[in-house]
Amino acid sequence: MLLASVGAVSVIVMIVFLKTAYVVPVLMYHSVDGNENVTKLSVAPENFESQMEFFRKNHYNVVGLDRIVSYMQKKEKMPARTVAITFDDGYYNNYKYAYPVLKKYNFPATIFMITSKIGQDGWCGWKELKEMSDSGIITIGSHTKSHLWLPDMGSKQLKEELIESKAILEKGLGRSVDFLCYPIGARNDRVERFARDAGYLGAVATNPGRFSPSNDIYAIKRIKISRTSRNHIVLWFESSGYYTWIKEQRKRDQYEYD
């Protein structure tokens, strides 16, 4: 009887742990090009396609950020193996290499564009942004106007970075821009409040830290995908929902900026 009681308690403890430790996996990509052996912010095109094929074969529920927000707010029940895909900065290689693969598998994704970079060499222009946005596959979000450190900004400059970038994208795309990505993942309560007041429905960070709640839709935690993720065992672990919790336990600081 005692052993049965201990076993029951252990099961309950495990269930509680699994529920509290789970963080919905939101994957963070940057470049999709041939430089993955040079920088951690790059994934080779063939490895990106392999990762998307892994999600398809293993029946992952790939959703947009609007659904992630809905799951976090408990408006919808989150299916098993749910994952979201995001890209920071708006590099042209996202259009050239990632977009065709995402269309092939019908996987939604969000690309966060730095508006001052639109049309510059190596970055997406309006033609690419409009095509992707109109496809229904890609959601374009704001990565601010200038990709600067937000927490130390005065109120006027902070409003400009958040509001003007949103307005520029909305005018160019002809649709609402609902999501924000903080440059370098840097944010605090004040920056979050400004993002909310600017009309964003949610915002992604990088690794806000273990003291940051996992249901804050203005500090959505993400997982950086790098060359190590070409190993599908690593990718499976990163997209399991428990990688974030384990990683946060190793961090001494409240915030980690990528």
Q: Which residues contact 246 (CB under 8 A, 6 or more apart)?
A: none
Beta carbons of 25 and 240 less than 8 angstroms apart: yes
Examine the pLDDT at 153 and tell me if it is beyond 50: yes
Examine the pLDDT at 217 and tell me if it is beyond 90: yes
Residue 173 lies in a domain: yes
Nearest to residue 112, comparing CAs of 30, 32, 171? 30
Residue 33 lies in a domain: yes
Q: How many domains does the chain have?
A: 1
User: What are the angstrom distances between the C-alpha of 55 and each of 41, 60, 173, 195?
Assistant: 21, 5, 29, 32
pLDDT digits (tens, 9 = 90+) for 48-76: 999 999 999 999 999 999 999 999 998 88
The rounded distance, in Å, linking the Cα atoms of 15 and 96 is: 43
pTM (2 d.p.) = 0.90
Q: Higher pLDDT residue, 46 or 40? A: 46
Residue 247 is predicted with a pLDDT of 80
Neighbour tally for 241: CB within 10 Å: 20
- The residue-averaged pLDDT of 180-195 equals 96
Residue 257 lies in a domain: no
pLDDT digits (tens, 9 = 90+) for 89-141: 999 999 999 999 999 999 999 999 999 999 999 999 999 999 999 999 999 99
Question: Which residues form the domain of 76?
Answer: 21-249
Examine the pLDDT at 219 and tell me if it is beyond 70: yes
Q: Which residues contact 5 (CB under 8 A, 6 or more apart)?
A: none
Residue 239 lies in a domain: yes
Share of the chain above pLDDT 90, in %: 76
Residue 4 lies in a domain: no
Q: Higher pLDDT residue, 246 or 79? A: 79
Bridging pattern class, strands 82-89 and 61-63: parallel
Nearest to residue 169, comparing CAs of 113, 235, 243, 91? 113
Residue 11 lies in a domain: no
Lowest mean pLDDT: which of 88-97, 109-118, 171-180, 238-247? 238-247
Share of the chain above pLDDT 70, in %: 86
Residue 246 is predicted with a pLDDT of 82
Residue 5 is predicted with a pLDDT of 46
pLDDT digits (tens, 9 = 90+) for 10-41: 433 333 444 567 999 999 999 999 898 899 89
Burial of 164 (0-12, 13-18, 19+ CB in 10 A): middle
Examine the pLDDT at 168 and tell me if it is beyond 50: yes
Residue 13 lies in a domain: no
The CATH code of the domain that includes 150 is 3.20.20.370
Residue 97 is predicted with a pLDDT of 98
Residue 245 is predicted with a pLDDT of 81
Residue 31 is predicted with a pLDDT of 97
Residue 252 is predicted with a pLDDT of 47
Examine the pLDDT at 215 and tell me if it is beyond 90: no
The rounded distance, in Å, linking the Cα atoms of 40 and 202 is: 26
For 139-187, the DSSP string reads EEEE--SS----TT--HHHHHIIIIIHHHHHHHHHTS---EEE-GGG--
